[in-house]
Amino acid sequence: MRNPLATIAWASRIVLAKRTVPRLEPPFEIDLDLYHGSDYEKIIPELVDIEHRLKGKPADRRGMRWIHQPDGTVLFHGERVLDVPYEDFITRVPIGHVGQFYRDSLGLSTRVVQRDEQDRALHQGVRIIALPQPNYAAFMGKQELDVYKLEKIDYTEDEQRVWMLTVHSPNGSAVCDDGYMSFRRTGDGRGTVVSFMSCQNFPVPPLMALLRLDRWAWFRTLVTELAYRRFCEVMMDNVQDCYDGTDFHVGRAQR
């Protein structure tokens, strides 16, 4: 935990000079031999149930849906239709590295555990580090997201989907950060649908907890949904930029 002056300095840099924040190549420090094939897939039935629940909710004008649970867990689904051919899209946008598309992702490390006959990753471990969301929460003491995930990737003729289960957060920045991202062919076959679903529970920033701002459900819902909208919009923009060959990474590349 940073001291108050260091917290203010770091938060100011994130908000006012994000381009100066160095990108990372985080070390991968968990032992994937401790996990079995079933561990990569055990979250899928629960996520399928969450998907059904979310799709039963009306979407807003941006195609986003939420369910706020009493324990603070937020269920979210958002998608965007891209006017690009699916076959072309999946050759340019890697389903096995979706953590790089997160808003303000500073870096990720990947360890592939199992591949298919086409040398595509089926089971892998990923470590993702990203700046606090929303950025201003850094002034409240919110730390960078730092999570390890087990990922199971499915490939069909019309869809690629990566299922994600969080198994460790070195700095305690996430209670859970599970979900999926998928790329699928549109019904008319002309475009690509990018979908993102999450089941997330993040600790309340220390200053917000101290001021007890989280006790106001309307306030918590308001700031949470604003943050998710911004996060999802930027993430989808990053996916589009990746397809277009435009650099979308945040921060300063290390030399």
> 227-242, pLDDT tens digit by residue?
999 999 999 999 999 9
Check pLDDT > 70 for residue 183: yes
pLDDT of residue 207: 66
- Closest residue by Cα to residue 84 from 232, 206, 186: 186
State the pairing for strand pair 192-201/176-185.
antiparallel
pLDDT single digits (tens) 116-139: 999 999 999 999 999 999 898 888
Confidence of residue 1 (pLDDT cuts 50, 70, 90): low
pTM: 0.92
pLDDT of residue 209: 65
Check pLDDT > 80 for residue 17: yes
pLDDT single digits (tens) 72-89: 899 999 999 999 999 999
* Residue 158, both tokens: 């019309």
Q: Are 163 and 154 in contact (CB under 8 A)?
A: yes
pLDDT single digits (tens) 135-173: 988 888 888 999 999 999 999 999 999 999 999 999 999
Assign 103 to helix, strand or coil.
coil
At which residue do the structure tokens 């921060």 appear?
251
Q: Produce one character per residue of 12-31: b if its CB has 16 or more CB atoms within 10 Å, e if not.
A: eebeeeeeebeebeeeeeee
In DSSP notation, 133-178 reads SSGGGGGGTPPPEEEEEEEEEEE-SSEEEEEEEEEE-TTS--SEEE
* Residue 94, both tokens: 């890697």
* Residue 228, both tokens: 């998710």
Q: What is the helix, strand, coil percentage profile of the chain, to 5?
A: 35, 30, 35
Region of 169 please: left (phi>0), alpha (psi -120 to 50) or beta.
Answer: beta
Q: Distance between terminal CA atoms of the chain?
A: 28
Check pLDDT > 80 for residue 95: yes
pLDDT of residue 213: 65
Assign 81 to helix, strand or coil.
strand
Confidence of residue 2 (pLDDT cuts 50, 70, 90): low
| Eight-state DSSP code of residue 204 | P
Assign 236 to helix, strand or coil.
helix
Least confident of 10-19, 47-56, 114-123, 178-187: 10-19
Q: How far apart are CA 35 and CA 125, in angstroms?
A: 10
